[in-house]
Structure 1
Amino acid sequence: MTGVILAVAAGALIGLALGALGGGGSVLAVPALIYLLGFGPIGATTAALVIVALTSATALAAHAREGQVRWRTGLLFAAAGVLPAILGGALAAHVPGALLTAAFAVVAGAAAVCMLRCRRRAGAAGAVRPGRAVAAGAGLGGVTGFVGVGGGFLAVPALVQVLGMRMRAAVGTSLLVITVNSLAALASRAGTVADLDWAVVGPFTGVAVLGASAGKRLGARVSGDALQRIFAVVLLAVAAFMLVDAVA
């Protein structure tokens, strides 16, 4: 019973993050599953992909209704990452859990620092170069598959910093990228999905879906710059904690 309560609480937080920030779901779900619910690194990353894929797809529909999804760029970005995500997921099955945790922390920390210190490319919005979108999408897909995340915490910085997209459009578009990448990464982990504790994953996912709706309303009341700072600070704190744990 305690596990279900913790899953519900964590699911609410993950849903809020995805709805408001267009990412951060996996980067919060993975440590919650490991440190609060007792999952191993492989089980946690697989469960996080299930949770985030379903939650992101739900949140995507709401953002799309408001015109905050750049479909052409998002689909190009996501499609470029499908094969790398599958290959990364297959590789992760042969890597020690501590190394996966450390890799997760390093990637999250790098994204957080970029969000805090890098400035958006002036005048790039609306003039996305396909080659740049493909390269960024492929890199994101590989990382998504390997460390077992939906990739929103990397997709948002990439869409803002590399492709020059405005923050609110990046939030909506990242949900498209997250959904596609999560499903691709899950395809390479299909054999481990049946072994998940669905008594925990089910409530976790259900509450996350509900939380995404509340998160979207919250995000509409906060400026894009403030969202970016909040997103980065949360990432940095989680990354520091997980890196310390991995090397301890």
Structure 2
Amino acid sequence: MTLVLALLAGALIGLSLGALGGGGSILAVPVLVYLLDQSPAQATTGSLVVVGVTSLVAAVTAHRAGRALVARGVVFGLVATGGAVAGAKAAAHVDEDVLLAAFAALMLLVGGLMATRQLRHRRGTGPAEPDAPAPQLDDPIITFRPTFACACPRALKVLVTATVVGALTGFLGVGGGFLVVPALLLALALPMDKAAGTSLVVITITSATALAVRAGSGPAPDWTAVLALTGASAATAVLGARLAGRIGTRRLQTGFTVLVLLVALYTATRAVLALT
């Protein structure tokens, strides 16, 4: 029964990543810890496999559908690798209970932000999602020919956000899609559908970087459990990526927000009890 629940959770992770460009990865650690009996250190490493493979599969599907700007995603991902390396190295020196508590705090923050955004959209008081004019999609941030030019405020936004995303990926084993999508919306002026697809490219790169740094250090996860979760997640990521082009994502976002908050409260309770 536990494995069945884990596979169902893996399917939800893949659906969220494929359809929304993020979010589902934040469930991978709790699933590995509480359903598959992995330690926090094992889970934060194993989740990088789940998130990385799932994002890669979804990114390919999104690219074929014309919803992923691969070049932009690769650049953002490469900038984020510095933070991913630093985060992965820092995680090796942190107590496991503290690591899980930090993850619980992140989940509560993300869940709260998602809930606030949903409420604002329903009331009509939140800012409208930016739909950038088509020409801006091709506007470079830095050019060297015919003369050097730099949109430095945008470059700084990309640098800071990418580094934070990379650090979270390396330290907590999450993809950081909940930060990547807003960053691509604002810093690179991408429309929502392109931001969701492009974020999958970024998550693939940062997850692979963090996993490479963690390899050989710390306890190895139970690869059978990790691969089972990865398989379920990757399979539904294709479905999620296809659905994103056909239906609105607001209902998916609402349901996922509720789920994240419930898992966050459970994880936070367990983490606090472990620390006391």
Q: TM-score, normalization: structure 1?
A: 0.87
What number of residue pairs does the alignment pair up?
A: 247
Gaps of 5+ in 1: none
Larger Rg: 2
Gaps of 5+ in 2: 118-125, 142-153
Identity %: 43
Q: What aligned pairs does 1:157-236 form with structure 2 within 5 A after superposition?
A: 157-160=182-185, 163-192=188-217, 195-236=220-261
* 1:68 aligned counterpart, secondary structure: coil
RMSD (Å), alpha carbons: 2.5
For residues 101 and 194 of structure 1, what CA distance do their matches in structure 2 show? 15
User: Aligned-pair distance for 1:231?
Assistant: 4.4
Dislocated runs of 4+, deviation >6 Å:
none
Q: What aligned pairs does 1:65-144 form with structure 2 within 5 A after superposition?
A: 65-115=64-114, 116-117=116-117, 119=127, 122=130, 126=136, 129-144=154-169
Relative to structure 1, the CA distance from residue 122 to residue 151 in structure 2 (aligned partners, 3 Å threshold; closer, same or farther) is closer
User: Aligned-pair distance for 1:4?
Assistant: 4.1
Q: TM-score, normalization: structure 2?
A: 0.79
For residues 66 and 162 of structure 2, what CA distance do their matches in structure 1 show? 22
Relative to structure 1, the CA distance from residue 135 to residue 223 in structure 2 (aligned partners, 3 Å threshold; closer, same or farther) is same
For residues 3 and 51 of structure 1, what CA distance do their matches in structure 2 show? 18
For residues 19 and 179 of structure 1, what CA distance do their matches in structure 2 show? 12
Relative to structure 1, the CA distance from residue 225 to residue 202 in structure 2 (aligned partners, 3 Å threshold; closer, same or farther) is closer
Which shows bigger deviation, 178-187 or 225-234? 225-234
User: Aligned-pair distance for 1:177?
Assistant: 0.9
For residues 270 and 187 of structure 2, what CA distance do their matches in structure 1 show? 31
Instruction: Say if 2:50 and 2:226, in contact at 8 Å, map to a contact too.
Output: yes
Relative to structure 1, the CA distance from residue 160 to residue 237 in structure 2 (aligned partners, 3 Å threshold; closer, same or farther) is farther
- Find the partner of 2:270 among 225, 245, 248: 245
Q: Which residue of structure 1 lines up, in the alignment, with residue 12 of structure 2? A: 13
For residues 111 and 7 of structure 1, what CA distance do their matches in structure 2 show? 22
Instruction: Say if 1:56 and 1:179, in contact at 8 Å, map to a contact too.
Output: yes
For residues 68 and 207 of structure 1, what CA distance do their matches in structure 2 show? 23
Deviation by residue 1:186-231 (Cα, 9 ceiling, x = unmatched): 0111015883222222222122111111222333343244444444
Instruction: Say if 2:77 and 2:202, in contact at 8 Å, map to a contact too.
Output: yes
